[in-house]
Amino acid sequence: MNPVLEPLFRTVRATHPKADLRLIERAYDVAAYHHRDQKRKSGDPYITHPLAVATILAELGTDDETLCAALLHDTVEDTAYSLDELRADFGDTIGSLVDGVTKLDKVKFGDAAQAETVRKMVVAMSRDIRVLIIKLADRLHNMRTMRYLPEHKRHQKSREVLEIFAPLAHRLGMNTIKWELEDLAFAMLYPKRYDEIARMVSERAPRRDLFLQEVIEKVHGDLREAKIRAVVKGRPKHYYSVYQKMIARDVAFDDIYDLVGIRVLVDSVRDCYAALGTIHARWNPVPGRFKDYIAMPKFNMYQSLHTTVIGPEGKPVELQIRTHAMHHRAEYGVAAHWKYKEEVGAPGPTGKVKPGSDMAWLRQLLDWQKETSDPGEFLESLRFDLSVSEVYVFTPKGQVIALPEGATPVDFAYAVHTEVGHRCIGARVNGRLVPLESRLGNGDTVEIFTSKSPDAGPSRDWLKFVKSGRARNKIRQWFSKERRETAIEAGKEAIGRAMRKQGLPLQRLMSGEALLALARDLRYPDVSALYAAVGEGHIAAQAVVQKLVASIGGVDSAEEDIAETSLPTRLRGRPRGGGGAGVVVAGDADVWVRLSKCCTPVPGDEIVGFVTRGHGVSVHRADCTNVQQLKSQPDRLVEVSWSPSDDSVFLVAIQVEALDRPRLLSDVTRTLSDQHVNILSASVTTSRDRVAISKFTFEMGDPKHLGHVLKAVRSIQGVFDVYRVSGAGS
């Protein structure tokens, strides 16, 4: 036997004792022969990649056909070995698997192309689920060796992982793959956030481990006394899942990290419930936190009892109780089916999922694919569907319909049929009339009333509360067919109104070029599409105006533009030279100088001067975004140089990026005060992904002090980046 294959075979013997090792060795020999002259970006022989993919799949317990296909998955695409030769050598099943993986690999990635790839995946999945399992293992190994790729490629592939592959692994119940993919992509995309969470986790680890050990010993002792055989262990915390919980539950890191996770593995379903009773006898359960996924399994075949109890020291403890078979399936998902083929809903001999199994979700995706023509829209529906939990409700005839958590009767109506959704005028839940925006709960029976009027149609307000991608897409489609011209006019009027309210230069800002550039930035093909989007409520007029103003350098710059395009006026009694600003104008030391707020220059920056009409000379950093526009009037540019005096004061703008938590702002402002800087303005925005972005503008006498200020702010807990920005408004 080839010694290179020994680690793989050791794993195969442990997870799949009846596998045909000779067949796997033959597949390896063929792959090694055809890849013999190829190298990976790392410089390793190419065969190391298929071998690593096969090893990942062997750990999941997949069958020998899948392992052979994994070893051969790149041969047809990257070598002279043809699919017909492969079919002749290894049979139709392995040939079809390799063909399925090859088709997924051939598609070029871009936004629309990415959606097409997902569609092809779905089609491939529906024919044989093992194609997707190979693809997930392939992507996992690529992520492990991603450091050899250029940065833009790393970011693109990591984004695909978080948006497509990890959620699909979750849908297939393959949690070990999902967790590792998420952590690798998270570290690649947001290294500073990842490092900050890793640092916070490691700081608290020793204290937490002691507490964990105490809880495990008590649970173990109670179960032994009750004569229940069990394995009790702590659940690992994955960095990305910690970060996701901070976002989803909107709580600080400490509140999540103090939550200890325990896993209890027992021999039978009866023991699961007995163990639950034993644990609840010692510690009080937290109301509303008990979930029975054994009686009601999740969509991806996941089964377990979940409970949260108030443990020692009054700290909450999360417990998952399950059998060893359930645990195997929770870790490896659909891949585990090959070990437990006798179970209902396992794949048949071809690997195809039997009708009526837990994989009904795949059929639902296929239905969507047929009815959604725009690939981008399909992808949005898929992403949305992958990111939410579900509720199960009944039709009056008892048919079960799965909807996203928080779904409403309108979502239900569209799930039944598009026309039922369009004509929906009322709903009855459990025999009582309810508003259309009310949330549905598990087990509700829903009845929809429809209008017979030929003019019946959905309401725009529905978009504010529907939760399912299908309902949202159908409502949008209905409106996009309606009067587009009206929407364009309404949008134009709304933008104009928002500008007049702020007293901004309408003519300059609504010039074709500025708006067209903004429309393209926001992914609209032209200005009309941008107006229509505002008119239809897809984007707020105020947001468009803010982006327009930002694109020309902030409100100050827009106002400066007004000043610079207005009639020349006499300089009104400002007998001040450039001393206070610390800048002198070549040839005239007595000109009034002001440091521009759009880029806040400080000594050491390369600067240019611009003669404004009525406002002396404004000084900009040479790399300021507005300088390009000013260069169109070269006769008004003047040479300026730094000449700071003891009483010169400079404005500095910094941006602080941190994982959001209580008292973050007060900690940052206190640190800035300790550094003896005078804060003039502060703004904080918190994004949906729990990142707080704070901007501070402050006065400093000595710009050399800035490095110490940045270092002090960086040391605050949760802060993962701090840097000087080109302006207070940028």
Which residue numbers are catalytic?
77-78
Burial of residue 66, with CB atoms counted within 10 A of its CB: 0-12 exposed, 13-18 middle, 19 or more buried: buried
Report whether 434 contacts 393 (CB < 8 A).
no
Question: What is the C-alpha separation between 424 and 130, in angstroms, rounded?
Answer: 41
| β-sheet with 637-638: strand ranges across | 593-595, 617-621, 607-611, 637-638
Question: What is the C-alpha separation between 618 and 616, in angstroms, rounded?
Answer: 7
- The rounded radius of gyration (Å) of the Cα atoms in the chain is 31
Pair of tokens at residue 179: 């967790």
Report whether 266 contacts 275 (CB < 8 A).
yes
Q: Which residues pair with 657 in a beta bridge?
A: 693, 721
Question: What is the C-alpha separation between 451 and 428, in angstroms, rounded?
Answer: 15
Burial of residue 378, with CB atoms counted within 10 A of its CB: 0-12 exposed, 13-18 middle, 19 or more buried: buried
Continuous segment of H or E residues that includes residue 641: strand 640-642
Burial 640-658 (b: 16+ CB within 10 A, else e): bebebeeebebbbbbebbb
Question: What is the C-alpha separation between 352 and 334, in angstroms, rounded?
Answer: 11
Report whether 368 contacts 357 (CB < 8 A).
no
Pair of tokens at residue 449: 């009333």
Question: What is the C-alpha separation between 91 and 68, in angstroms, rounded?
Answer: 11
What size, in residues, is the chain? 730
Pair of tokens at residue 261: 């996770």
Chain centroid to Cα 651, Å, comes to 36
Distances (CA, A) of 675 to 325, 655, 668, 693, 727: 59, 16, 11, 20, 21
